[in-house]
Copies of this chain bind each other. A is one copy, B any other.
């Protein structure tokens, strides 16, 4: 049932069309400035070509002149066929090194190299502070699924499946969602590098219409994380060498499939085919007749289509083996990292409060992000990110004694929501949570010399982590603001209290992030601006008082109310009790 029709389609291969060249006659200063378009017959050699040119330009055949490229390489019998390609611009000159008496125009094509797609991700995701960036690439695909499921009436289901069972084919990373899916036009748009929701509406025949910015929601959890038109492509080509998108929307019975692969591009380059052309396969659901041995895991995946009205699956193959190793060996590390990135999407604006009795009516979200890993001979590892209880946000939230909410109004239209949390000192230790995976050289210092009661709590870490449209931008942190930094003069409470706070900032896309979504472009700069206005928020109400004072009082209050500090002062030596 395989279809073989490439050769019959128009425009695929243009190499056997006739050649047309542009010739500028620049032999004499007075030569007429226009150019001549000369057709080269398919069997023509240099002699015929030269004769044609003589005729076209009115030159007597025995006049002395050379035909050169614009790089002044003379055309000869031997190089004629190699050099004189369709569309080339040539000169008629007295000699190859003569001056160009009047200017010429040379048509060039500068189609982006296919590395634009194939290498888009390779140099985009980088390590910071010992973090492997792979989870941040996966996050781009989750972002897309978040957008696609934003309007789901029921459960929003996003699955990351790691198919590492060799008996089922080569390793694959699959991201599947039950979102709205794409029709074939939208699937084509998926593949267009830099076609963003902003430019798409403008393009002719678009079915998406003009983009409308979503209204404000708390913590900017608007599921509108698509922005640049590059994320999916960068992510799949960071992870592997080939991506198959399988998708269906509710309006149609057809499933659409498209494969974008490094190998394909290379083949098209060699065959001189159009680099940015390809074929979408349209088919009925659950039809997996085209699946090859290498990807036989697709049969099962495609079988599932029976039950689905709409979905999108991104299937990455050619997965780099370092990535496979990392995904296998650090399963908990990276799932925990994803749970952190999407913490507020998974748990709602108040985050993962473990003691549910504390919150009367937390809106349960309908978003389920599930990770599963399949290895040969092992039972699958499956976890829903909602179940994780040790991502950093969960740890922060559940060691919080009190919170201080605020808003920052930045020049222009930017609004930043902020939360500061107090992690008290309890009995004999700080409750500011440790990152179990942080590289912690200083922790193993055993200080014999002095009796240490307090650890450093936050230590040198910045206070704030930053979320953009509700998802973490992992490499941008904000150290502090003037009003919440430890006071220079003696404050209202001991200085170590200022090390007991953590914080979160939430922005929408009025603040811009880099294309890899690892950093904000200028959030820090804007917040530092002296015109930025900070206001405390209590129960949703803006407070009039100066935030510096409000905050100092809040910290003092937290210290007095929550810190249960037992200091053993004046250690007198060990007493062995003999009376028990």
Q: Which residues of A contact B (CB under 8 A)?
A: 1, 3, 5, 8-11, 20, 22, 33-35, 37, 70-72, 82-83, 85, 87, 97-117, 119, 123-130, 132, 183-185, 187-189, 191-196, 199, 205, 207, 228-229, 251-254, 258, 274, 276-284, 287, 289-290, 439, 441, 444-446, 460, 482, 485, 488, 512-515, 519-522, 524-525, 528
CB closest residue in chain B, given A522: B127
* Contact of A290 with B103 in the complex, beta carbons under 8 Å: yes
* Contact of A229 with B115 in the complex, beta carbons under 8 Å: yes
* Contact of B97 with A528 in the complex, beta carbons under 8 Å: no
Of the residues B103, B107, B183, contact of A287 by C-beta under 8 Å: B103
A111 CB to nearest chain B CB (Å):
5
CA of A579 to CA of B246, assembled, Å: 95
Of the residues B33, B132, B184, contact of A71 by C-beta under 8 Å: B184
Contacting residues, chain B, for A184 (C-beta < 8 A): 70-71, 106, 108
A35 CB to nearest chain B CB (Å):
6
Q: How many copies does the complex hold?
A: 2
Contacting residues, chain B, for A103 (C-beta < 8 A): 1, 3, 281-284, 287, 289-290
Contacting residues, chain B, for A20 (C-beta < 8 A): 10
* Contact of B33 with A106 in the complex, beta carbons under 8 Å: no
CB closest residue in chain B, given A285: B99
Contacting residues, chain B, for A106 (C-beta < 8 A): 184, 279-282
Contacting residues, chain B, for A445 (C-beta < 8 A): 488
Once A3-B103, A194-B115, A283-B100 are accepted as A-B contacts, the answer to whether A188 and B108 lie under 8 Å apart by CB is yes
CA of A524 to CA of B105, assembled, Å: 49
* Contact of A111 with B290 in the complex, beta carbons under 8 Å: no
CB closest residue in chain B, given A196: B115
CA of A391 to CA of B332, assembled, Å: 45
* Contact of B87 with A11 in the complex, beta carbons under 8 Å: yes
Of the residues B10, B72, B110, B460, contact of A87 by C-beta under 8 Å: B10
Once A119-B194, A277-B107 are accepted as A-B contacts, the answer to whether A253 and B113 lie under 8 Å apart by CB is no
Contacting residues, chain B, for A101 (C-beta < 8 A): 284
* Contact of B282 with A35 in the complex, beta carbons under 8 Å: no
* Contact of B485 with A441 in the complex, beta carbons under 8 Å: yes
CA of A428 to CA of B104, assembled, Å: 70
* Contact of B124 with A514 in the complex, beta carbons under 8 Å: yes
CB closest residue in chain B, given A132: B525
Given pairs A105-B280, A108-B188, A445-B488, 6 additional interface contacts (CB within 8 A): A71-B185, A103-B283, A107-B277, A111-B276, A112-B192, A112-B193
Contacting residues, chain B, for A8 (C-beta < 8 A): 37
CA of A82 to CA of B205, assembled, Å: 8
CA of A116 to CA of B192, assembled, Å: 10
A486 CB to nearest chain B CB (Å):
10
Complex A-B: 22 CB contacts under 8 Å? A1-B33, A70-B254, A70-B280, A71-B185, A72-B251, A97-B252, A100-B253, A103-B284, A103-B290, A106-B282, A107-B278, A112-B192, A113-B192, A115-B229, A116-B116, A116-B193, A124-B515, A127-B521, A127-B522, A130-B524, A441-B485, A446-B488
* Contact of A254 with B100 in the complex, beta carbons under 8 Å: yes
CA of A124 to CA of B120, assembled, Å: 13
* Contact of B100 with A284 in the complex, beta carbons under 8 Å: yes
* Contact of B123 with A513 in the complex, beta carbons under 8 Å: yes
Contacting residues, chain B, for A284 (C-beta < 8 A): 99-101, 103
CB closest residue in chain B, given A517: B123
A491 CB to nearest chain B CB (Å):
13
CB closest residue in chain B, given A102: B1
Of the residues B5, B35, B70, B113, contact of A105 by C-beta under 8 Å: B5
CB closest residue in chain B, given A447: B488
Contacting residues, chain B, for A519 (C-beta < 8 A): 126, 128
Most buried by B among A116, A191, A460, A528: A116
Contacting residues, chain B, for A485 (C-beta < 8 A): 441
A203 CB to nearest chain B CB (Å):
8
Of the residues B128, B199, B253, B524, contact of A127 by C-beta under 8 Å: B524
